[in-house]
Structure 1
Amino acid sequence: MSEPSLLLRSKYVPASYSLRLGIDNAKPNYSGLLRVDVSQNALYNGDVKGFSMYLHAHRLIITKAELNLQSGDAIKLLVKTDREKQTIELSAETEEPPVSVTITYLGSIATIRTYHDETYGVFKTNYSDSVSGKSDNYIIATHAQPYGSRCIFPVLDELVLKVQISLTIQTKSLFKVVSNAALKSSHIIDMTEDSLYEFEPTPPILPAHFGFALGDFEVLEDSSARVPIRVLTTKGDSSQARYALDVSVALFPVFEDLLGQYPLTKFDIVALPFLADVVMENWGMVTVIRDKILIDPYNASSDAKYTIRQLIAHQLTHQWFANSVSLDDWRCLWFIESFATFVGNYALSVKGIEASDTTLFEEQKLFAIQDFMDIDCFIDLPLPSPQEYMNGLDVSAAIKTNNIFEQQVYDKGLILLNMIATLFQLENKSSDYTHFFKAFREVTKEYEYKIIKIFDIWNILNRHTSYELLSFAHSWFRHVGYPILEVKVKNNAITVCQNRFLYNNDAQSLNLENSPFHVPLATKVRTDKGDIQIANLMLSDRSMDLEIPPSQLICLNSGNQFYYKTVYSLEILDVLLKNVAENILRSSDLLAIIRDYGKILGQHTFHSDADLYGSSQLNFFIKLAKVLSSESWSIDFEVLKACLSYLEIINSIFLHFTEYTRFQIWLDGVYFDLYNKIDGWNAVLDLKTGDYDPTEYEVRNMILQGASSHKEVQSVCKKLYKNMVSSGVSQRFTAKELFPLIFNVTAANANMNEYKQIMALAKNSDVSLLKHSNGLVQDLQTAAVSSLAFCKKPDLLSKTLHFVNNNIDSKLIELCLLGYKFHHSTQAKEQLWAWYTVNYDLWVKRSLRKGSDWSKQIGIATGNISNLVLGEVMQYRIDDVKAFVDAKEKSLPPHKLQERFERLEAENEEKRAIADLYKDLCI
């Protein structure tokens, strides 16, 4: 249990700090002189006679402490040190009112030599500059979050009090010196090599956001913004800071528009050789490890530039929220960080420094919500609610913020913030989050320089919306997981019911908490006049009746902004699919529905309503595929990718767990219809550069493979393969997304010469083939290796099996057998089964030899091959598989085959549940 706050134990508390430091880079210590102006503590309830004050101090040696009285006298203070608790108690018997405390002390400077050394408190490093190559350059800097300021000077190092800090540093005149506030003055000290650097007083600041840096820096500055903005770098590297500086200057007015006027008079970014937490949001002086901020803008990748834009936008947000307005508990760090990411990414989308920023913001939001839903629904690995996480977190011993930070709670924070901002957007019928930030500016104004609770934020935002935001936020803070909404028809109107969503189970049968969330329905409807509107309704109970005719409903969760899944009754699904065909349903809405139905497909055994679950979910994909392949639907490759990805999963299940033929014929027709619909194949064959849409080419790859039984499609594939393996000035560009298609279809129809050519590439990829492609060597080799079992001729498959057996100790050799996942022919499966059963004993015995890496690798390969053979390919002979497993458990040394098979069978439960729906297919 953490200790009570020092604030409650002190008769007097700091009103301001005046700190003077003497720092010599050649010495392991520095000298400190601290003056603490004090005021009587209104929270103290004990005896008020005399003077006492508690401060934090760690790795500091107090040499003298005096109490300055109102009369002008100074008396010696008694200093009691508690090293375990990292505190000092200052006390004196006096009747006179105190004015200030003066403390003389010594502090230590940690020397940092590697990335593993802790950069905490005050630390120094020397570095080799890129100009002269000399290594006699020094940088001394600080890292104060969460409890590092007590290693810099005696301080009340808690999130309870903000006071002004005035800093003066004596150090080498050749050094550049920077701190939170602007430099007020500097002058050379006579007869020394030193100068005295005096900084303006900070506004009231948390000690955790205090800091300074000094040393051999280069400075790059831009004064075009309202306040000067600088980047300080190691010598010779300032040219690589230009991109970061330009981004900072461009974003600065955007943040002032979103959050209010910047509260300081300058903004610096300091690039350090070492920093354990990578980046630290000191107020007005962000420190960051240099590798994360310095780039050559002419040769850097777009991803590298985007990472820097995100980093700067994130740190700029902290200048307002975290530094100016601060939360009162380190357990809220997840919220502080998620807010900075949310606002930072939004600022980038508003500014549009790069054309892709706006698109990325929307895509990242949508995919982040869906991806997080996929892990936030497991009963055996439950993710805590933010409230549960905070209640179970002990931050008293944290050295780094990484010890406090929890990625999954942070992700939930991003989702919560997005939902709240979207509520403002929908209520005001706005295209952006203008109204949310207008309300939030009231937070930064009212609580400037203050310490608050998260509740205070909701309280202010609540003034600007008709939603009951406090109750909304409370429900999502407290409840675990998220709901699934069931949408049905009742008396020619819509009724919506919510329950907590659990993967492969339900809350009621497990007697788990199933409290209703506050769920924004964001119901998109078509009015009697044909207009499309969004009804801003909030579902706070178990169910709600909506006076909306089913024929006018377009969807719930418009824009896919809110954190829940939705299933629709058959009657509503038919309306929904009609809206898809008429291009009324937005892509983001349809993507959300596809992901929702894909996640719950096969879970009908936990639900009794056949109108919502089971075959209705499966047939949704069947009907949707037909709509997407129709002439009326306007092509969207993201939607096609999502739908076809689930159809591939369904196809794989049906292939191994059903008679399959009926579905195979239907699916072949859908793929061929899509082949004819999207057209543009001549452009694919004649592609001259890498300037194309990767998602489009992923979809084209799927379609060509799915329709590869047709001669027209085979012709395209042959031309792509011929172009790829040929050379000369006529060679066209080959997109890496087409590699699997090119090799799989070629292998499936290969003759002996073509097979040998692919095998040669599998063994040793020809780099020259990549001159006209954006693929890497490993992309090419993986595609070649993975195609070897797509062959249809038994003699070629035999060669592939022989190759795997001879290289069973090679890493990822099992990729050679992936093609068997797509063979419906029992002849091919029987060939694999015979080969597997003949060689299995030898593989296992070789894998059990101790002390060699190749034995371990054989064990890995044998396990992965067994997953394929026992778990999928041979499911049509499940009794023989069980007999094989039983026999090997008895005849071979222990090698956990039984445990592997039981795990595979558990994973196959859902597949069999989907396969049971085969008889109900609407094809």
Structure 2
Amino acid sequence: MGKGFYISKALGIVCVVAAIGAVATIIALSVVYAQEKSKNEEALLPSTSGPGATTLPPTTPSAPKELWDHYRLPDTLAPLTYNVTLWPRLEPNEHGLYIFTGHSKVVFRCVKETDLILIHSNKLNLTASEGGHLATLKGLDGATAPGLKKTWLEVPTEYLVIQLDSPLQAGSWYELFTDFVGELADDLGGFYRSEYMEDGVKKVVATTQMQPTDARKAFPCFDEPAMKAVFHMTLIHPSDTVALSNEPVNVTMDGQHLLQTSFEPTEIMSTYLLAFVVFLVIIYSTYSQNHTNEKGVRIWARKKAIAEGQGDYALEKTGPILTFFENYYKSKYPLSKSDQIALPDFSAGAMENWGLITYRETALLYNPHASSNGDKEWVATVISHELAHMWFGNLVTTRWWNDLWLNEGFATYVSYLGANYAEPTWNMKDLIVLNEIVGVMGVDALASSHPLSSKEEDVQRPEDISQLFDSITYSKGAAVLRMLSEFITEKVFSEGLATYLQEFKYNNTVYTDLWKHLQMAVDKNGIKLPHTVEVIMNRWILQMGFPVVTIDTKTGRITQKHFLLDPESVVETPSEFKYEWFVPMTWIKTGGVEQQYWLLNKEEMALGVNDWLVANIDMKGFYRVNYDSENWERLLNKLSTKHQDIPVINRAQIIDDAFNLARAKMVNTTLALRTTKFLDKEVEYMPWETASRNLNYFFLMFDRSEVYGHMQAYIKKQVTPLFNHFKELTANWTKIPDNHTDQYNQVNAISLACSTGVEGCKELTTGWFKEWMSDPANNKISPNLKTTVYCSAIAAGGVDEWDFAWSMFKNATIASEADKLMYALSCTKQPWLLNRYLEYCLDPTKIRKQDATSTVVSIAGNPIGQPLAWDFVRANWDHIVNDYGGFSFGGLISGVTKRFSSEFEYKQLVQFKEDNAGSLGTSSAALEQSLERTKANMNWVAMNKDQVLEWFISETSSPV
């Protein structure tokens, strides 16, 4: 008996009866398959004509839209259950195509009388019935099904349209049957295939990614999150493979070298959370099967990955994180099992399919001998993020995609709480500031940003939905929910969540439903707020951006205004709140006692001090802080004399605020640079990481100018004590620091030291790398240091180093190791190697489609590679858009243009926009942000270059 296939004796009689239907189904699908072999490739494309199909004349702009011209389903029908059978082929047909065949029955209720059925279907070739129609309809429970008048596929809106001879009756139940063929493509969406090599043999996995609108590529369905139903899934697959889905296996039966695996019916759920996977038995291990806990946790991956123990960490932490969320939500895990599978090809980091979470390998697998502490943290936070969704998103689902921010922002925020529970020594609650908040503030300070919550009518098309999956949705969503949890307290926040989940389980909501339950918890616990939760939070989610709060310690005056990186940019998005916020402020001054205050207006008189003051303690609020010049001087003096008096997060915040205020022309750029002078005495990670990121902007703007050398000299001066500190702490680089963030800062120390020429650094990294080249089977480089060592050595070396790294990348069996090498290959200073690497990005046998965007962006991050990457993107744009679904188009545009700071580059971007107006799609918002960012960069460089050069010269020429 194959591993994972078990039929109990109690099910014996049921199996005998069910086997008849199973064999009949298998035989029927075999006939379908035989018929398909005579079809050509075009037969796999969606039919818009043929027997029973009617192609409608195009509507003119003045004509009223038909229902099938709308992207949203009408409110006339509501699904109850689906019964879906799918048969993926893991071998190509004679045309070289991988296909799947299937049929589906959906039972639905007529809510309002209608003579039209609209159901989503995309890229499926529907088989015509004997009557020539693309579906069959029958009535249930005594209802009579009307005849079908016309059926066709409406490609733009992705519908199967069924016109009826007479109306469906409100309150009656019906069943719609469809039979279809689809392509098991490698486009990473819907029902698709993933491939990998093992022992020189290609392995094929059939897997899914339905979110947001790709369930319709697997079978016809009402593909909207509010259209919840129960799914009965059956997969037909080769006898040497395993099938998984959201629920446990109900029964598996043999038939003609095939297995038919049926699964228990799902809970009531949305289509985008459906998942199923078929893969070779050899990637399943008894390790996964036998090491289950009371929640039925299993980790699935490639055979070698499981054999090497790469799933151990995920298995160890999944149970505790589930327990944390059960306590946090005050609700038991809703399902009987939690399968988690690492896929070689996956477009996102992971997907929260209910009961079958899919991951990139780097987000689930961890090898303690080869993976860094950053890899380990990523695994913990991604698992925590996806498990948080099991309740918030899956059990209770937002009604429409305009509230995606609530789903993803919430999971992002609480993922740090779950990871903190699993790894209590990591200070994960602090790291959210660096990982999420600091970065997204840079995006939200652009005039081309957008509010967290959109109107439903503004989010209609699939591309509208896809554009919402950005850092605003995830990271700003997390930041404002963290801020809310802080000012009502985490305990009260958790209580409100519990009643929210209890009331709306298996249902759909809008964000105001959450506000209502949080308000109930606030009232119950006697929390005093200046307004209701809804009134306060609407200002943070219904208008884009955030405020900069200016504190004048001489007068006691506090003011707020909309913070924009480019104060001259025009904000075209109006706000009913006039870009004012209700700001929960905190501050400390002499004595260190934290004080709280609500800033409710544009200007208020609130305090007066004559000593240093720092506001927004631990960056709990989503706002920046500016001060009068005297207080800035007091803060700089405190940093230079006793920086530990300021909390570590606020030391990072002072740097980040100052640099961004300088870019917005609110303080002098030299003031921002002065906030880094204390770093020669700082050993904590967060201030150094924040300074490094902000100084990286200076590198982007000046690494092709005379400023660069003097800037390098200054950073070398500041980082040398840090480099020596870690040299001593690690006993001359022979030990790993104990503290989690110290391990991160050791990387900063070596990376900055090597890039600025600190004595002994480059010799250290190139020595380690050459030692590895001489003995490829024995890599002694610390996993934490691999990325910076590989990059430094490849940058200092030539073709030999690059070719060695490429060879090790191609042979890597650990995904996180492959990622490190993939990035380091972009560090070479040889243009011809970078061009070769760019070409590899269009060959999925060399660079996986899922990694193409990040690789091109990494190359663009190299000052030598940036113009090469930009030329590459422009030259290949049509191919990338039309034939290469692995690219994240918005991320690509943003990544290759981040250095742009000249009029010439701006004009190139404008020309690119004009030349590709019809193919920008989901990248249009990113392009607008790049145009805005380029214009701001141009202005900033013109204003600051001379004074920055002068400051760096003065700092490096003065005595140490």
Tell me the TM-score normalized by structure 2. Answer: 0.61
What is residue 110 of structure 1 aligned with on the other side?
Answer: 183
Q: Is residue 689 of structure 1 aligned with residue 730 of structure 2?
A: no
Is residue 591–residue 639 contact of structure 1 (8 Å, CA) maintained in 2? yes
Is residue 16–residue 165 contact of structure 1 (8 Å, CA) maintained in 2? yes
Q: Is residue 201 of structure 1 aligned with residue 258 of structure 2?
A: no
Q: How does 1:695-734 map to 2 (within 5 A)?
A: none
Q: Is residue 384 of structure 1 aligned with residue 450 of structure 2?
A: yes
Q: Which amino acid aligns with 1:256?
A: E
| Cα displacement string for residues 654-680 of structure 1 (whole angstroms, at most 9, x for unaligned residues) | xx999xx9xxxxx99x989x9999997
- How many Å separate the matches in 2 of 1:554 and 1:7? 55
Is residue 443–residue 472 contact of structure 2 (8 Å, CA) maintained in 1? no
Q: In the alignment, which of 439, 442, 445 is matched to residue 496 of structure 2?
A: 439
What is residue 623 of structure 2 aligned with on the other side?
Answer: 564
Q: Which amino acid aligns with 1:87?
A: L
Q: In the alignment, which of 481, 494, 497 is matched to residue 420 of structure 1?
A: 481
What is residue 30 of structure 1 aligned with on the other side?
Answer: 101
What is residue 876 of structure 2 aligned with on the other side?
Answer: none
Q: Is residue 257 of structure 1 aligned with residue 327 of structure 2?
A: yes
SS in 2 for 1:83: strand
- How many Å separate the matches in 2 of 1:24 and 1:526? 68
Q: In the alignment, which of 757, 773, 779 is matched to residue 792 of structure 2?
A: 779
Q: Is residue 301 of structure 1 aligned with residue 365 of structure 2?
A: no
Is residue 381–residue 418 contact of structure 2 (8 Å, CA) maintained in 1? no
What is residue 441 of structure 2 aligned with on the other side?
Answer: 373
Q: Which amino acid aligns with 1:343?
A: V
Q: Does the C-alpha gap of structure 1 residues 337 and 685 become closer, same or farther in structure 2, counting only changes over 3 Å?
A: closer
- How many Å separate the matches in 2 of 1:623 and 1:243? 40
Shift in Å, 1:266: 1.2
Q: Does the C-alpha gap of structure 1 residues 477 and 675 become closer, same or farther in structure 2, counting only changes over 3 Å?
A: closer
Q: Does the C-alpha gap of structure 1 residues 657 and 519 become closer, same or farther in structure 2, counting only changes over 3 Å?
A: farther
Q: How does 1:615-694 map to 2 (within 5 A)?
A: 639=687, 683=728, 687=732, 689-691=734-736, 693=742
Q: Which amino acid aligns with 2:625?
A: T
SS in 1 for 2:601: coil
Identity %: 16
Q: Does the C-alpha gap of structure 1 residues 19 and 475 become closer, same or farther in structure 2, counting only changes over 3 Å?
A: same
SS in 1 for 2:561: strand
Q: Does the C-alpha gap of structure 1 residues 646 and 812 become closer, same or farther in structure 2, counting only changes over 3 Å?
A: farther
Shift in Å, 1:522: 2.7
Q: Does the C-alpha gap of structure 1 residues 563 and 126 become closer, same or farther in structure 2, counting only changes over 3 Å?
A: closer
What is residue 534 of structure 2 aligned with on the other side?
Answer: 470
Shift in Å, 1:179: 1.9
Q: In the alignment, which of 654, 658, 661 is matched to residue 597 of structure 1?
A: 658
Shift in Å, 1:20: 4.8
What is residue 826 of structure 1 aligned with on the other side?
Answer: none
Q: In the alignment, which of 298, 315, 318 is matched to residue 245 of structure 1?
A: 315
Shift in Å, 1:32: 2.3
Shift in Å, 1:681: 10
SS in 1 for 2:563: strand
What is residue 944 of structure 2 aligned with on the other side?
Answer: 910
Q: Does the C-alpha gap of structure 1 residues 383 and 390 become closer, same or farther in structure 2, counting only changes over 3 Å?
A: farther
Q: Does the C-alpha gap of structure 1 residues 160 and 523 become closer, same or farther in structure 2, counting only changes over 3 Å?
A: closer
Is residue 548–residue 625 contact of structure 2 (8 Å, CA) maintained in 1? yes
What is residue 165 of structure 1 aligned with on the other side?
Answer: 231
What is residue 336 of structure 1 aligned with on the other side?
Answer: 407
Q: Which amino acid aligns with 1:101?
A: Y
Is residue 480–residue 540 contact of structure 2 (8 Å, CA) maintained in 1? no
What is residue 559 of structure 2 aligned with on the other side?
Answer: 497
Q: Is residue 231 of structure 1 aligned with residue 299 of structure 2?
A: yes
Q: Does the C-alpha gap of structure 1 residues 578 and 221 become closer, same or farther in structure 2, counting only changes over 3 Å?
A: same
- How many Å separate the matches in 2 of 1:648 and 1:15? 54
Q: How does 1:273-422 map to 2 (within 5 A)?
A: 273-277=344-348, 279-290=350-361, 293-294=364-365, 296-352=367-423, 355-356=425-426, 358-359=427-428, 361-366=429-434, 368-378=436-446, 382-387=448-453, 393-396=459-462, 403-410=466-473, 413-422=474-483
Q: Which amino acid aligns with 1:247?
A: K
Q: Return 5+ residue gaps in structure 1 as ranges.
A: 608-612, 662-666, 702-734, 748-756, 786-808, 814-846, 852-866, 869-899
Q: In the alignment, which of 153, 163, 174 is matched to residue 101 of structure 1?
A: 174
Q: Which amino acid aligns with 2:941?
A: E
Q: Return 5+ residue gaps in structure 2 as ranges.
A: 1-64, 94-98, 130-134, 523-527, 799-828, 834-866, 872-900, 903-933
Q: In the alignment, which of 207, 231, 244 is matched to residue 178 of structure 1?
A: 244
Q: Which amino acid aligns with 2:628?
A: S
Is residue 225–residue 253 contact of structure 1 (8 Å, CA) maintained in 2? no
- How many Å separate the matches in 1 of 2:459 and 2:508? 20
SS in 2 for 1:8: coil
Bigger shift: 303-312 or 73-82? 73-82
Q: In the alignment, which of 129, 139, 147 is matched to residue 68 of structure 1?
A: 139
Q: Does the C-alpha gap of structure 1 residues 370 and 153 become closer, same or farther in structure 2, counting only changes over 3 Å?
A: closer
Aligned length: 712
Is residue 520–residue 557 contact of structure 1 (8 Å, CA) maintained in 2? no
Is residue 550–residue 572 contact of structure 1 (8 Å, CA) maintained in 2? no
Q: Is residue 479 of structure 1 aligned with residue 547 of structure 2?
A: no
Shift in Å, 1:324: 1.7
Q: Which amino acid aligns with 2:792?
A: D
What is residue 794 of structure 1 aligned with on the other side?
Answer: none
- How many Å separate the matches in 2 of 1:676 and 1:298? 29
Q: Does the C-alpha gap of structure 1 residues 489 and 314 become closer, same or farther in structure 2, counting only changes over 3 Å?
A: closer
CA RMSD of aligned residues (A): 5.5
* Structure of higher RCO (CA pairs closer than 8 Å, 6+ residues apart): 2
| Cα displacement string for residues 407-435 of structure 1 (whole angstroms, at most 9, x for unaligned residues) | 2423xx4234333323433454xxxx444
What is residue 916 of structure 2 aligned with on the other side?
Answer: none
| Cα displacement string for residues 590-642 of structure 1 (whole angstroms, at most 9, x for unaligned residues) | 321232223334876xx7xxxxx55xx856976995x888xxx9975754787
Q: Which amino acid aligns with 2:623?
A: Y
Shift in Å, 1:480: 3.6
Q: Is residue 456 of structure 1 aligned with residue 513 of structure 2?
A: yes
Bigger shift: 577-586 or 433-442? 577-586
Is residue 186–residue 198 contact of structure 1 (8 Å, CA) maintained in 2? yes
What is residue 804 of structure 1 aligned with on the other side?
Answer: none
SS in 2 for 1:484: strand
SS in 1 for 2:594: strand
Is residue 492–residue 518 contact of structure 2 (8 Å, CA) maintained in 1? no
Shift in Å, 1:543: 1.0
- How many Å separate the matches in 2 of 1:291 and 1:635? 29
- How many Å separate the matches in 2 of 1:202 and 1:9? 24
| Cα displacement string for residues 152-193 of structure 1 (whole angstroms, at most 9, x for unaligned residues) | 44432223321222334455555433222222334556xx55
Q: Does the C-alpha gap of structure 1 residues 637 and 295 become closer, same or farther in structure 2, counting only changes over 3 Å?
A: closer
Q: Does the C-alpha gap of structure 1 residues 683 and 102 become closer, same or farther in structure 2, counting only changes over 3 Å?
A: closer
What is residue 56 of structure 1 aligned with on the other side?
Answer: 120
Tell me the TM-score normalized by structure 1. Answer: 0.64
Is residue 109–residue 174 contact of structure 2 (8 Å, CA) maintained in 1? no
SS in 1 for 2:79: strand
| Cα displacement string for residues 853-887 of structure 1 (whole angstroms, at most 9, x for unaligned residues) | xxxxxxxxxxxxxx99xxxxxxxxxxxxxxxxxxx
Q: Does the C-alpha gap of structure 1 residues 4 and 452 become closer, same or farther in structure 2, counting only changes over 3 Å?
A: farther
Q: Does the C-alpha gap of structure 1 residues 141 and 483 become closer, same or farther in structure 2, counting only changes over 3 Å?
A: closer
SS in 2 for 1:505: coil
